[in-house]
Amino acid sequence: MKIALGPLQYYWPRVTTLEFYAAVADWPVDIVYLGETVCSRRHELRLPDWLEIADMLAAAGKTPILSTQVLLESGQELKTLYRITENDRFAVEANDMGAVHRMQGAPFVAGPFLNIYSKPTLDVMAEQGAVRWVMPLEMGRAGLEQLQRDRPAGMQTEVFAYGRMPLACSARCFTARNRNFPKDNCQYVCMEYPDGLLLETKESQAFLTINGIQTQSALTYTLIHELEALSRLGVDVIRLSPQSRRMDAVVQAFRAVLDGQESAAQAHERLVPAMPEGPCNGYWHGRPGLDMVLPPQASAA
């Protein structure tokens, strides 16, 4: 199985972002998804900057893929979309049906927001040129088993395996709302929260994370205990979603478990302190997403 680094969900300062990807060049990842997928107001890096990063990573032996924005509303956002779908140098991850339409049959990765839950829909995506699909976050092992049996020949499968989950998106910016700023004059306050802004219940349960127009889980999804199962199911790629702290350790932990150099239980224990609010894996087990199910040997330890 290959390791992919998902698109950066947060808004980091330009230098931080450039330094992050400079470091990625040396990490044991195979594929790197690049670009702004959350909010077109974020402008520390523009498309030419992302293309430069893509060149640098390609030179380092990685496969860069340009991810399209998830929520496309304005004409300007469509123009950026066209520049991505019409680029002739890098592969594209389509995160909206508008992006699928603009690919016009050229090969693409069908992103996790396209709602591919069944074989007939996966077939439609294959006809459109999808060469890989990313399982929806809500889907678990049972659904994946079924779709792996059903998937069209040559179609690769990618599974989100680590990170705070992007659960919803809105036209409203919740980070700006927290500061009583209108979205059109948001003052880019999301840059103050490199891993998003925590939302807790009135009894201090870490519930969600506000990240601009996106709402994420507060807990960090992890399938580190399931890498063998994923491999047995024929999954081709696992996706790790960037966080601001110790992302290198996250990548190395997954690599070590995949290579059989460390047990999942050990790696998990090492990673939990790097998670802002702790782990979850409920979706994989067909349970509420915020649940955490430890394998029997791990919970006994």
Site for other proteins in 106-145 (CB under 8 A): 113, 115, 117-125, 136-139, 142-144
Shortest separation between residue 77's beta carbon and other proteins, angstroms: 8
1 lies in the site for other proteins, by CB under 8 A: no
177 lies in the site for other proteins, by CB under 8 A: yes
What DSSP line would sit under 183-249, residue for residue? Answer: GGG-TTGGGG-TT-EEEE-TT--EEEEEETTEEEEEEEEE-GGGHHHHHHTT--EEEE---SSSHHH
167 lies in the site for other proteins, by CB under 8 A: yes
Number of residues that bind other proteins (CB under 8 A): 72
Shortest separation between residue 21's beta carbon and other proteins, angstroms: 27
288 lies in the site for other proteins, by CB under 8 A: yes
**Residue (18 or 78) nearer to other proteins, CB:** 78
97 lies in the site for other proteins, by CB under 8 A: yes
Helix (H) or strand (E) holding 59: helix 47-59
Q: Are 292 and 224 in contact (CB under 8 A)?
A: no
Contacts with other proteins in 184-223 (CB under 8 A)? 184, 197-205, 207-208, 210, 215, 217
27 lies in the site for other proteins, by CB under 8 A: no
Burial degree of 125 (CB within 10 A; 0-12, 13-18, 19+): buried
Stretch binding other proteins (CB under 8 A), from 8-16, 51-59, 175-183, 267-275: 175-183
275 lies in the site for other proteins, by CB under 8 A: no
**Paired tokens of 138:** 């809500």
Stretch binding other proteins (CB under 8 A), from 2-10, 18-26, 27-35, 180-188: 180-188
- Judged by CB under 8 A, the residue of 14, 43, 46, 101 near other proteins is 101
**Residue (76 or 299) nearer to other proteins, CB:** 76
Q: Are 224 and 294 in contact (CB under 8 A)?
A: no
Q: Are 157 and 151 in contact (CB under 8 A)?
A: yes
77 lies in the site for other proteins, by CB under 8 A: yes
How far apart CA 238 and CA 111 sit, in angstroms, is 13
A 10 A CB-CB count for 167 gives 14
Helix (H) or strand (E) holding 72: none
Shortest separation between residue 246's beta carbon and other proteins, angstroms: 24
Contacts with other proteins in 54-73 (CB under 8 A)? 70-73
Helix (H) or strand (E) holding 89: none
